[in-house]
């Protein structure tokens, strides 16, 4: 068997277009084997989203002649299985990988999917977000994109791939759960094409959960089914600024930089005469929480706090794995500031339910929680006509807006169909 093979590791870059790792593998001009390992803390909705995404990606790569091996379990162990079976000359990965000295080891090519925003601090961490955002937006306005993969060239190259490398296991099963976001690059590109003409309306409508003011692309950016560089190119081409909307992408990038190695740090070394990967730093994962949250935590999770905007938000999250950014902050502030429950419980809940869950982003956001002054006032600001509340709390849908936001104040003659009073004084 030829030893001139490339192992192409997919992680948060599950797409064909503007894929730097795929571009590097093409430049190496060796037959290529693709691999993906489900994240260790992948929740049920993410498994469904990823299975949809990987089914599409596997088909697109197969058209180029590239087999995609998909695994569950420990990523180092899974990749070591391939390294042991096939003598690879190169390893291309979006994860940080350190290579020990050794001529017999595969060459390592680390691909950073982020925009090249340089740190200004000696410890290697990014500066405060305001400074990082300014630098990130500057790079976003200049970012170019890579050409699409050349199918004919890839197909010719892959004819040299040994037949046994093409035998890929079936995709892991995923439990059927309600999912607000469909996986795959095609779905991401459809969402982006629909949102781009509305981008200029984002500063006006983006803060209202009931309006179609957000892109609904968060899960896609989490797993890289859509290129940040490509959306920045499209915004420039349309003559738009887009800074208000791009703020969310800059913040995701900032969280990743502020928690380096949150997805792990690998080392490639020789072990028992063969190349092997092991974790220098394993991926960060949510710690198990104790039972200190009690009944109030359960009511918050199930959307039964008696505060309609909080309950509508949590039921929306339960129902599809997606939640408007403003409502994430509101629910977090209510949990910690009003129910006096540790942020660790909320962090674990969001990790279990959000399709776009990513440790670095989720952890950073839960460190920013603040005291919520008046949830009913916030309700009027975020959902003034009550459309969002009515959508997710059908038992209150008949109420006029004057009673909808705080039905416990509307009087005993108002029918609330069993909706509870607030579980805490607010």
Exposure b/e, 377-402, CB count within 10 A at least 16 = b: ebbbebbeebebbbebbeebeebeee
pLDDT score of 273: 85
Residues tagged in the binding site annotation for FAD: 202, 245
pLDDT score of 372: 75
pLDDT score of 66: 98
pLDDT score of 142: 87
pLDDT score of 411: 85
Q: What angle do CA 53, 360, 77 make, to 5 degrees?
A: 60
The whole-angstrom separation of Cα 202 and Cα 191 is 15
pLDDT in tens, 5-51: 999 999 999 999 999 999 999 999 999 999 999 999 999 999 999 99
pLDDT score of 255: 93
pLDDT score of 118: 60
CA separation (Å) from 79 to 6, 27, 170, 266? 12, 22, 17, 11
> What DSSP letter does each residue of 349-394 carry, written as one string?
HHHHH-TT--HHHHHHHHTT----S-HHHHHHHH-TT-HHHHHH-G
pLDDT score of 290: 73
Residues tagged in the binding site annotation: 202, 245
Spell out, as residue ranges, where the chain has pLDDT lower than 50.
1-2
Exposure b/e, 338-356, CB count within 10 A at least 16 = b: bbebbbbbbbbbbbbbbbb
pLDDT score of 122: 52
CA separation (Å) from 330 to 70, 262, 339? 37, 25, 13
The pair of three-digit structure tokens given for residue 5, joined into one six-digit string: 């093979």
Q: Are 88 and 5 in contact (CB under 8 A)?
A: yes
> What DSSP letter does each residue of 20-85 carry, written as one string?
HHHHHHHHHTS-EEEEEE--TT--HHHHHHHHHHHHHHHHHHHHHT--EEEE-S-HHHHHHHHHHH
Domains, the chain, ranges and CATH?
1-113 (3.40.50.620), 114-145+183-258 (1.25.40.80), 292-409 (1.10.579.10)
φ, ψ at 93 (rounded to 5°): -150, 145
pLDDT score of 124: 58
Strand partners, 207: none
Strand partners, 182: none
pLDDT in tens, 313-359: 999 999 999 999 999 999 999 999 999 999 999 999 999 999 999 99
pTM: 0.95
Burial class (CB in 10 A: 0-12, 13-18, 19+), 196: middle
The whole-angstrom separation of Cα 91 and Cα 266 is 12
pLDDT score of 289: 75
């Amino acid at each position: 068997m030829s030893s001139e093979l490339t192992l192409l590791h997919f992680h948060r870059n599950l797409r064909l277009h503007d894929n730097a790792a795929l571009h590097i593998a093409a430049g190496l001009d060796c037959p290529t084997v693709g691999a993906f390992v489900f994240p260790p803390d992948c929740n049920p909705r993410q498994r469904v989203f990823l299975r949809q995404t990987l089914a599409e990606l596997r088909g697109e790569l197969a058209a180029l002649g590239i087999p995609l091996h998909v695994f569950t379990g420990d990523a180092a162990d899974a990749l070591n299985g391939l390294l042991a079976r096939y003598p690879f000359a190169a390893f291309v990965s979006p994860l940080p990988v350190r290579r020990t000295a050794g001529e017999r080891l595969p060459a390592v090519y680390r691909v950073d999917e982020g925009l090249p925003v340089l740190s200004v601090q000696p410890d290697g961490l990014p500066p405060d977000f305001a400074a990082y955002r300014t630098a990130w937006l500057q790079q976003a306005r200049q970012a170019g994109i890579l050409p699409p993969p050349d199918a004919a060239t890839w197909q010719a190259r892959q004819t040299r791939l040994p037949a046994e490398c093409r035998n890929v296991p079936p995709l892991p099963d995923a439990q059927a759960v309600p999912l607000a976001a469909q996986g795959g690059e095609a779905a991401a590109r459809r969402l982006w094409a629909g949102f781009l003409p509305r981008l200029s309306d984002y500063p006006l409508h983006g803060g209202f959960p009931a309006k179609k003011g957000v892109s609904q692309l968060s899960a896609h950016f989490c797993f890289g089914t859509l290129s940040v560089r490509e959306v920045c190119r499209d915004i420039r081409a349309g003559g738009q600024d887009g800074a208000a909307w791009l703020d969310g992408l800059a913040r995701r990038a900032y969280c990743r930089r502020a928690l380096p190695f949150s997805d792990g740090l690998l080392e490639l070394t020789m072990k028992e005469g063969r190349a092997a990967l092991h974790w220098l730093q394993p991926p960060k994962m949510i710690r198990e929480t104790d039972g200190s949250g009690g009944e109030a935590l359960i009511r918050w999770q199930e959307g039964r706090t008696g505060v309609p905007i909080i309950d509508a938000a949590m039921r929306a999250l339960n129902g599809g794995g997606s939640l408007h950014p403003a409502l994430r902050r509101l629910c977090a502030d209510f949990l910690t500031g009003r129910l006096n429950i540790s942020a660790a419980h909320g962090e674990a809940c969001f990790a279990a339910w959000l399709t776009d869950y990513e440790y670095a982003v989720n952890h950073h956001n839960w460190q920013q929680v603040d005291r919520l002054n008046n949830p009913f006032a916030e309700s009027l600001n975020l959902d003034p006509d009550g459309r969002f509340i009515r959508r997710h709390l059908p038992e209150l849908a008949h109420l006029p807006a004057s009673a909808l936001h705080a039905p416990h104040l509307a009087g005993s003659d108002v029918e609330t169909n069993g909706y509870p009073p607030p579980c805490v004084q607010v």
